[in-house]
Amino acid sequence: MTNSKWKISFSELDSILKKLQVLLLDEISNNKKIIDELKTTYNIDFNDNLVQKITNIIKKTVEDIKKDLNFFYESDPAASSIEEIYWSYPGFFALLIYRISHELANQKIKIIPRYLSEYAHSKTGIDINPNAIIGCPCFIDHGTGIVIGETAILGNNVKIYQGVTLGAKSLSRGNLLKGVKRHPTIGNNVTIYANATILGGDTIIGDNSTIGANVFLTSSVSNNSLIVHNENNIDLTKK
């Protein structure tokens, strides 16, 4: 398959996603101890119910996934083809698993969404809670160390680089905070560069804003903001 062929038609994606589905199920099935546990605990007939559910969910998410793929290709000068993104980009893999696990979580399926997200986390270093809400398309580059918390909300066309945390401001009250919105809201067309940390359930990043690398932010910024690290806080000396 050439790149241009991929550009002309996305129709092969459906058959590839079917392969992914098989791959995903293989990956899960291989971990027989967990499957047995889930079967005993939840009476999930893994080979029927869940396969059907995942098939339906993949059908539901396929349009979003196609948009994500295109957005990755447009956003990354290092990508030589869409198939390279599909087969080798951890950010795309983590986002794909998120879109599936988010739908599973919406259907009130327990543990499996988190198991899938931690599977993706272990493969990619990208930790996206299935309950987070991520608009479409989204672009995640490199990705190692990214944390997107349970109650985070992201708009469309958001770009996120490695090491970014969208986290909670304080966890001092621990599990009393279950269900409370603790993670930030990110507008449309926002770019967040490497290792930026944005915390808090009331923190809102306005549309079209850019957050620079290593920035630490715990309060809201309006639309069209550019937040960059002041370079005055480093010392240069001779050895």
Q: Footprint of its own copies on residues 4-23 (CB under 8 A)?
A: 19, 23
Among 182, 186, 187, 201, binds its own copies (CB under 8 A): 182
**Residue ranges in 105-124 that form contacts with its own copies under rule CB under 8 A:** 110-111, 114-115, 117-118, 121-124
Q: How far is the CB of 177 from its own copies (least distance, A)?
A: 4
SS3 category, 165: strand
Distance of alpha carbon 30 from alpha carbon 78, whole angstroms: 34
Total residues contacting its own copies by CB under 8 A comes to 93
Q: How far is the CB of 14 from its own copies (least distance, A)?
A: 16
Report which residue type is found at 106: N
Nearer to its own copies (CB atom), residue 60 or residue 170: 170
Measured between alpha carbons, how far apart are the two ends of the chain, in Å?
A: 54
Name the DSSP class of 32: H
Phi, psi angle pair for 195, to nearest 5°? 65, 15
**Residue ranges in 123-152 that form contacts with its own copies under rule CB under 8 A:** 123-127, 129, 141-142, 144-147, 149-150
Q: Does 195 bind its own copies (CB under 8 A)?
A: yes
SS3 category, 142: coil
Preceding amide of 113 cis, omega within 30: no
Q: Does 210 bind its own copies (CB under 8 A)?
A: yes
Q: How far is the CB of 120 from its own copies (least distance, A)?
A: 10
The residue assigned the tokens 């969910």 is: 57
Nearer to its own copies (CB atom), residue 57 or residue 149: 149
Q: How far is the CB of 159 from its own copies (least distance, A)?
A: 8
Name the DSSP class of 206: P
Contact 110, 50 (CB under 8 A): no
Q: Does 177 bind its own copies (CB under 8 A)?
A: yes
Q: Does 82 bind its own copies (CB under 8 A)?
A: no
Q: Using CB under 8 A, which of the segments 46-54, 55-63, 95-103, 188-196 binds its own copies?
A: 188-196
Contacts of residue 96, defined as CB under 8 A and 6 or more positions apart, other chains included, come to: 20, 65, 68
- State the maximum Cα–Cα separation within the chain, in Å, rounded to a whole number: 67
Nearer to its own copies (CB atom), residue 40 or residue 48: 40
